[in-house]
Structure 1
Amino acid sequence: MGEFIFLFLFCVLGFQSSVLKVTQARFQATKCGDAGPDIHYPYQIKGRHQQYESLPGFELLCKDNLTTIHFPSYGDLEVKSISYDTKNIHLRDPKNCAHNVFLNLNLSLTPFHYFYVLKNYTYLNCSTTLPPPFVEVPCLSASSHHVYTVDSTLPVPGSCQGVRTVPIPFAYSPYLSDSMLGLRLTWDLREPEDNGAINRTRGSHTSRNIVIGSSMCVFVMAVLLLIRIKIRVATRNNYQKQEQLLQS
C-alpha cells in the first residue's frame, strides 16, 4: 500500500508541477539592472529569450541598465515602474519635458492610452509673453517664442498662434511635477489574430500533454492497484487452502 500512496503523490506533484510551469512561464520576472522594474508578460526585453509570444508594442529596450520603451511618434521614454495589477506604466522623458511628449506622442496605433482622465488643451506659440494667469511652459519656450497650454475653449490672443489641440492629463503648472503626474499610461491587451492562434495552439498542445500524462498516471495506478488486489486475493486463497489441509 505504501508504494501505491507514493506513486499517487508522485503523480499529483508531477501534475501540479506541469500546470505551474505553464502558468508561471509568462510571469517569470526579469530586470534591466538592479533598480529597474520587474518585467514579465505582456512585456519583454528586446533580444532576450522568453517563453511566450511577443506582442506588438510591449517590447522594452535595455541599455546601460536603463529600461526604455520606444514610440515611433516620439522616441524613447524611460520606464520608471510598472504596476501589473492596475495596468499602469510610469514613464519619464529623458529630456525632462512631459509637455513635449503630450504635444507629439501619438498613442492611436499602440496598445496604450493615458492612465488619467483627459481634457482638451490648446498649445499656443506666442511672440510675446502673456500676463497671468497664463503660465509659460519653460522646456518648450525660448527667448524668441513662448509656449502656453490653455483651455481649448478660450480665444487665441492676437500675439499667439494655435499649435495643436490635444487631449492631455493636465495643463502646465510649476506646482505639478512631471515625474509625479502625467506620463502614466495604461494598456489594452489585445493579441493579434495570428499570435492568438499560435498561443491557443501551443496552449492546446500543453493542455493535451498534461491530460495525456495525467491519464497515463491514473492508468498505471489502476493497474498496480489491480495487481495488488489479485496478489492479496491469491495470498488469502493460499492461506485458506493451507488451513483446510491442516484441519483435514
Structure 2
Amino acid sequence: MTVREARVREVFRKQRADAPPGFFACEAAGLDWLRAADAVPVVGVVDVGPGHLDLERLASVPPSRAAAHALGVGLAAMHDAGAPAFGSPPDGWAGECFFGPMSDPLPMPTGRFAAWGEFYAHCRLEPIARQGSRRGALGPDDTRLLDAVAARLASGDWDDDDTPARLHGDLWGGNIMWTPQGATLIDPAAHGGHREADLAMLTLFGLPHLDDVIAAYQQAHPLRPGLRRRMGLHQLYPVAVHAVLFGGHYVEQMRRLAAPYAS
C-alpha cells in the first residue's frame, strides 16, 4: 500500500439515509470543481453515494497569519478560474444545488445568466422569499421587502463588468479548516457567482485573521471601491436562509440588511 493509499483510507463520512436526491453528489462535484482551480487546498473526495459522502480526514492546526494570507491569495485565484455563467452549477452536476445544514438543506436553483443581478434576484432572493412564505417563517411584508430588492437587482442596479467567479458559495468560518496544508475548504455550495459573495460570507460570520485574508485578496485581485457598502446585499441571501430555517433574530437581521437596498 502506498502512503497516498494509506492516507485516503482515513476518511470522514457524512451520511444521511434520506438525503435529497443528488445532495451528496452535488457536494462532491462542487469540491472537485473548486479543487480543479488548483488555487487553494480543498478536501479530497474519497467516495460518494446516495446516502453518504466520504472525505479525506483532515488534521487541524491553529490558524496563522501566514495561512490566512495564502487563503486570500488562493481565493482570488480560485474566483479567477471562473464559471460558465452566473448561476451555473459546478462541472459534473446539473440541476438544483443545496444550501443549509445537512439535516434540512434548502434547494438552491441554478441557471445561466449573463448578469449577476438577474441571477441573484431569480435564483436566490425570489426563491427564498417563496420558501419562507410556504414554511410560515416570513410574513407578507418580508416577502415584499425581498421582492423589492430582487426587482432592483434584476434591473441591473448593482451590476458591474466582473465576470462569473468560481465560488465556494457557503464560505463561513466553519467551512474552512486550518490544516498543515493551509486553510482548507470543505462543505461548499459551489456555483458561478460574484466574487464578493464569498468575501461577504466570511465577513458575516467572522474568521481568524480575516483582515489578512481580505488584504491578501486585494493585493492579488483588487476589488472595486465601495465593497463595504455592498456587503449587506451579498449577505442578504445567507441571512434570509437562516431566517427561514431558524427564525428568531435572523428575521430582524434580514429586514435590516434588506431595507437599504429596497428603494
Q: TM-score, normalised by structure 2?
A: 0.21
Higher strand share: 1
Higher relative contact order (CA 8 A, sep 6+): 2
Q: TM-score, normalised by structure 1?
A: 0.22
